[in-house]
Amino acid sequence: MTDELEERIDRAVDASPRVNFLPEKVRHRADEDRPLPIPRNQTNSQPTTVRDMLYLLEVPAGAKVLDVGAGSGWTTAILAELTGPEGSVLGLEIEQELVEFGSANLATVERPWASIQQAVKGKLGHANAGPYDRILVSAGTRKLPQELVAQLAPGGIMVIPVSGQLWRIEKDAAGKSSISRVGQYLFVPLR
């Protein structure tokens, strides 16, 4: 991790205060470094976990990003700050209540190059809008979903929790994937 990447992430997180992406009843806990409850028995991820995922993802300006499990919209907003207006971020969420909650939260930061949409049950990602330079998955799975790997552009990176570990999948220019595994993490399940 470079100092420049760390500074970019710090600026993006600072420009997207977590407190603005939490339900009113838990906003007083926004500074806690732990997951916090949001509607539909889901959570707003622990800040250090979000930072770890962003470091692994290495989002460049201008990237086309898919945010699977957008929840409260917090990571979608941070990703949009990292891509800048020359990029785009599509957040997907399976729960309609969270699509509305996350979209309302995202609107407060005025990054029109980012949006949150309803995910299609039984399908992962949004293949028709891909391929993506970066894919962030904020829900755990037992095995790597090839459906998402297929939506990753050559030269792209995906970060996803698999069996309690963060996996970083990199696709080379020829489309061949390599995997590195980092640390133990706990996430809500990918559905």
Q: What is the pTM of this model?
A: 0.93
| Mean pLDDT calculated for residue range 40-45 | 86
The per-residue pLDDT for 47 is 94
The per-residue pLDDT for 183 is 74
Contact 93, 118 (CB under 8 A): yes
**Rounded to 10 degrees, what is the CA torsion of 91, 100, 94, 32?**
70
The per-residue pLDDT for 40 is 87
| Residue-wise pLDDT tens digits, 74-95 | 999 999 999 999 999 999 999 9
Place of tokens 């929840």: 71
Q: Domains along the chain?
A: 3-184 (3.40.50.150)
| Residue-wise pLDDT tens digits, 99-128 | 999 999 999 999 999 999 999 988 999 999
Structure tokens at 171: 């696709």
On the question of pLDDT at 167 being above 60, the answer is yes
The per-residue pLDDT for 32 is 94
Instruction: Write the secondary structure of the chain as one string of H (helix), E (strand) and C (coil).
Output: CCHHHHHHHHHHHHCCCHHHHCCHHHHHHCCCCCCEEECCCEEECCHHHHHHHHHHHCCCCCCEEEEECCCCCHHHHHHHHHHCCCCEEEEEECCHHHHHHHHHHHHCCCCCCEEEEECCCCCCCCHHHCCEEEEEECCEECCCCHHHHCCEEEEEEEEEEECCEEEEEEECCCCCEEEEEEEECCCCECC
Of 158, 162, 153, nearest in space to 190 by CA: 162
The per-residue pLDDT for 43 is 87
The per-residue pLDDT for 188 is 53
Which residue among the candidates 45, 72, 88, 138 is catalytic per the annotation?
Answer: 45
Place of tokens 């391929």: 131
* Mean pLDDT estimate for the chain: 92
- 16 annotated active-site: no
The per-residue pLDDT for 53 is 93
Burial class (CB in 10 A: 0-12, 13-18, 19+), 28: exposed
On the question of pLDDT at 187 being above 70, the answer is no
Which of 12-21, 33-42, 58-67, 143-152 shows the lowest per-residue confidence on average (mean pLDDT)? 33-42
Integer Cα distance of 59 and 76 in angstroms: 12
The per-residue pLDDT for 184 is 63
| Mean pLDDT calculated for residue range 25-50 | 91
